[in-house]
Structure 1
Amino acid sequence: MKLASEKQVVSRRDAEAAERLRALVRSASIEATPRQILTVEHLPDLMPAGTCVYVPFLPKGRFGDTLEACQRLIDVGMQPIPHVPARMAESRGQMRDWLARMTESGVDRLLLIAGDSDAIAGPFPDTLAVLESGLLAEFRFHGIGVAAHPDGHPMADRATLIQALGIKREYARTTSTRLWVVTQFSFDPNAVIDWLQSLGTILEEVPVYIGMAGPTRVKTLMAYAAQCGVGASARLMLRRPGSARLLRAWTPDAMVRALVRYCLDNPDTLLRGIHLFPFGGLRQSAQWIQEHNGSVEGQRGQFHESSVQ
């Protein structure tokens, strides 16, 4: 009887893990450059209606490109989330113009980031400066996302970064703004889990979405990792037992399974979903989502809906 009971427990946990995995993938968001969005044919065939698509404003790009890509996403029933890089705004007036044009085009949420450039073009050295400016309060955005870095950041230690998240959470609370956190991509689930646990109660009920690379060749992945400051994490991944297969290709499967186990063991976790960086191409990452998410009916449109009041 004891053996049968143990098998039932294992079977139930396996079923719970499978459902949690489908739920995480089902609500997955994805990042896509303006060029990808504007040139890929049959975009609705890749991603279902309601999919949240993050649209970068690249350092050498034009804001108009980001806005045009957002408009195409809206036209096909998807949810654009444009990046708004604080350091790239040359003036308070330019930042206000960006926000106004997004609102006028139907964009109702954004990801506020400092930006990849070390140079500061105007009055906003970081995201806190944008929040303190009061500009966002002039517009009725449905929600605002902010970035986090589980593998660390070259410009600040963990305590400083977590303190900044607390300030952003307080801003959301006092302004009744819907807030969520989406992280830089990582290859190390242990680092992600350690970071999640280090948050304590600082974010209260703010949902967290963990970034990871979509399926791609390892050579491509390592290049992006070095560029984005997570090269150490990538090299650690390749030194692990069983990593020989990664010399052929990377997929986020093992990363997601580790996070699923964490969610089952920590039901109160703030982890709500995953965010894919399609370094191997938009089509390849979209196909991975389709293969792992189970039924998508009734699930889209719920992403990033939690709020801090």
Structure 2
Amino acid sequence: MYGPPMEEQHRGPAAPYALEVTGKDIAQLEASQADIPAGTPVNIAFLGNETHAQRITAARVIRACGFEPVPIISSRRLLSQQDLDTLVSELIIEVRPKRFLLVGGDPASPAGPYPDSLELLRSGVIERHGIRHVGIVAYPEGHPRIADAALWEALKWKLSFLADAGCSVEITTQFGFDADTVLRWIEQLRHEGFDTPVRIGVPGPTDVGKLLRFARQFGVAASAGIARRYGFSLAQLVHRVGPERFFERLLHGMEKRDVGAILYHLYPFGGIADGVRWMNRHAVSVTA
């Protein structure tokens, strides 16, 4: 079944994809408002050069546009428990998010008491704020600083912890290039007994050079072999490329597997307008 998460089924049809923005992208989001399906989840990135006030403003604009704000809470960027509780409380007061996405974050050293999202969960933030729907992230193509076995153990711990806490969970994957690896990862997740809905990360159309810069930033491996499979040349960094080959191979592979509930998450590296137009042409027919 390529359907929506159970909790979203009870609220009506799920949007076919989610997307991600920063506080600086809000004007782009407003400009593309007419092209984005109503109710689309919009993840709000937790950047080091933006303030909580910017994040809350972004959430307000997303809600006003008719979309669902999904605040990302970066464990390693939080200064203290008070910093965490102030941000979460204000977001709940201002926009009442249906879901928070809890991540570790990029900094090499934590700014406060939370070195990763496991410690954030252990902090009691779920209970203190009555959070019932949680998003977590996964890395089907691996992480440059974390062993695969450790990634799996952390993922299974979080899924079990959140189930015990009575929370619904949705997994968003990092974007990647190798659809076969993503499919094998989903198969392993299902084999482990987890039917958690998965949003597969899809990079929007962008220049090859920018795509590779984001790949390095987010720890996605980008070998020459994977680049050829994805459909671009490492010698043409200014060439604009979309995820057509990745997406086609992904859909073909899902036809042959029992992958469970699958949705999509757009990383609009080449701009929200181009990314949304691409997803509108490709994702709607898959999840309808």
TM-score normalised by structure 1 residue count: 0.81
- Aligned 1:102-251 pairs, distance under 5 A: 102-105=91-94, 106-202=96-192, 204-230=194-220, 232-233=221-222, 235-240=224-229, 243-244=232-233, 247=236, 248-251=239-242
Deviation sequence 1:274-294 (CA, Å, 0-9, x none): 111111011110111222345
Correspondences of 1:262-273 after superposition (within 5 Å): 262-267=253-258, 269-273=259-263
Gaps of 5+ in 2: 4-13
Instruction: After superposing the two structures, state which structure 1 stretch, 39-48 or 201-210, moved more.
Output: 39-48
What is the distance in 1 between the residues matched to 2:131 and 2:230? 46
Q: How do residues 4-23 of structure 1 correspond to structure 2 at under 5 angstroms?
A: none
Q: CA deviation at 1:116?
A: 1.0
> Is residue 78 of structure 2 the alignment partner of residue 89 of structure 1?
yes
Report the number of matched residues.
275
Distance in 2, matches of 1:85 and 1:95, equals 10
- Matches of 1:44 and 1:235 in 2, distance apart? 37
Q: Secondary structure at the match of 1:120?
A: coil
- Residue identity matched to 2:163: R
Q: Determine helix, strand or coil for the equivalent of 1:60.
A: coil
Alignment-mate amino acid for residue 247 of structure 2: V
The structure with the largest alpha-carbon Rg is: 1
Partner residue of 1:80 out of 44, 69, 74: 69
Is the CA contact 1:57–1:83 (under 8 Å) kept in the aligned structure 2? yes
Structure 2 vs 1, CA of residues 69 and 227 (structure 1 numbering), >3 Å: closer, same or farther?
Answer: same
Q: How far is 1:48 from its partner?
A: 1.9
* Residue pair 1:210, 1:273 contacting (<8 A) in 2 also: yes
Rate the CA distance shift 1:285–1:203 in 2: closer, same or farther, 3 A: farther
1:256 paired with 2:247, answer yes
State the distance in 1 between where 2:211 and 2:82 align: 38
Note the C-alpha offset of 1:261.
1.7
CA gap of 1:26–1:71, structure 2 versus 1, over 3 A, is closer
Is 1:29–1:276's contact at 8 Å kept on the other side of the alignment?
A: yes
> Secondary structure at the residue paired with 2:280?
helix
- What letter is aligned with 2:250? L
Give the corresponding residue for 1:6. none
Question: 1:50, 1:77 within 8 Å by CA — same for their partners in 2?
Answer: yes
Aligned equivalents of 2:29, 2:262: Cα separation in 1 = 29
TM-score scaled by length of structure 2: 0.87
1:32–1:55 CA contact under 8 A, matched in 2: yes
Q: Which stretch of structure 1 is more off in the superposition, 33-42 or 65-74?
A: 33-42
Q: Which amino acid aligns with 2:245?
A: A
**In the alignment, which residue of structure 2 is the partner of 1:291?**
281
Moved more, 75-84 or 195-204: 195-204
Distance between the aligned counterparts of 2:117 and 2:153, measured in 1? 13
> Structure 2 matches for 1:35-50, cutoff 5 A?
35-38=24-27, 40-50=29-39
Write the distance in 1 (CA, Å) between the matches of 2:231 and 2:77: 42
| CA pair 294-195 structure 1, distance change in 2 beyond 3 A | closer
Query: Shift of the alpha carbon at 1:43?
Result: 3.9
Residues in 1 aligned to 2:151 and 2:234: alpha-carbon distance in whole angstroms: 35
Q: Which structure 1 residue ranges, 4+ long, deviate > 3 Å from structure 2? A: 38-43, 200-203, 239-247, 293-296
Distance (whole Å) between structure 2 residues aligned to residue 35 and residue 241 of structure 1: 29
**Identity of matched residues, %:** 29
- Aligned residue for 2:6? none
Q: Which residue in 1 is equivalent to 2:7?
A: none
- RMSD, matched Cα: 2.7
Structure-2 residue corresponding to 1:304? none
- For the residues of structure 2 that align with 1:203 and 1:115, how far apart are their CA atoms? 27
